[in-house]
Amino acid sequence: MASITSLKAITIADVRDLLGAVVLNGEDLSIKVEAVGAADLLSDVLATSKSGTLLLTGLINAQVIRTAIVADLCGVVFVRGKKPGEEILSLARESKIPVLGTPLKMFEAAGRLYMAISGNR
């Protein structure tokens, strides 16, 4: 998984603003994003992510949320305007995993967050 550690502190609320995203789950948007990664292969997320990583993904299924729980991710962003179903969102609510949805494609979403956390706006 391509991932980068935050040099500049951003929060889930910042991610929402940067990606023009809607918050699908999450009450506390002040959670710090320690790192960002983009992947559609959950085995890679499990193998390479650090705890506190925000995952950008185009996959829509319950395994994404379970991966977030297992790997201590700080949140999930579904890209390309994909809408997770109720089963996925209720699992996210139960396990307090923030979930955002953005209409952006993976490349642009990752690019915007890369610029933000590396301090090059």
Partner 1 sequence: MMAEAFESVYHVLGKDFSNAGKVSTSIKDTLKRMGISPLVVRRVAIVSYEAEMNLVMYATRGKVSLSVSRDAVTLNVDDEGPGIPDISLAMQEGYSTATPEMREMGFGAGMGLPNIRKNADEFDISSQVGRGTRLFIQVKQASAA
Residues ≥6 apart with Cβ < 8 Å to 48 = 1, 3, 37
46 contacts partner 1 (rule: CB under 8 A):
yes
Piece of 5-13, 18-26, 34-42, 101-109 that binds partner 1 (CB under 8 A) = 34-42
**Cβ neighbours of residue 78 closer than 8 Å, sequence gap 6 or more:** 24, 57, 58, 60, 84, 99, 100, 101, 102
Write the single-letter amino acid at 52: G
Which of the stretches 14-22, 28-36, 60-68, 98-106 binds partner 1 when contact is defined by CB under 8 A?
Answer: 60-68
Question: Rule CB under 8 A: which of 79-118 touch partner 1?
Answer: 87, 95
Q: Which of 47, 107, 111, 118 binds partner 1 (CB under 8 A)?
A: 47
The residues with which 11 forms a beta bridge, in sequence order, are: 32
Instruction: Return residues touching partner 1 (CB under 8 A).
Output: 40-47, 51, 57, 59, 61-64, 66-67, 69-72, 87, 95
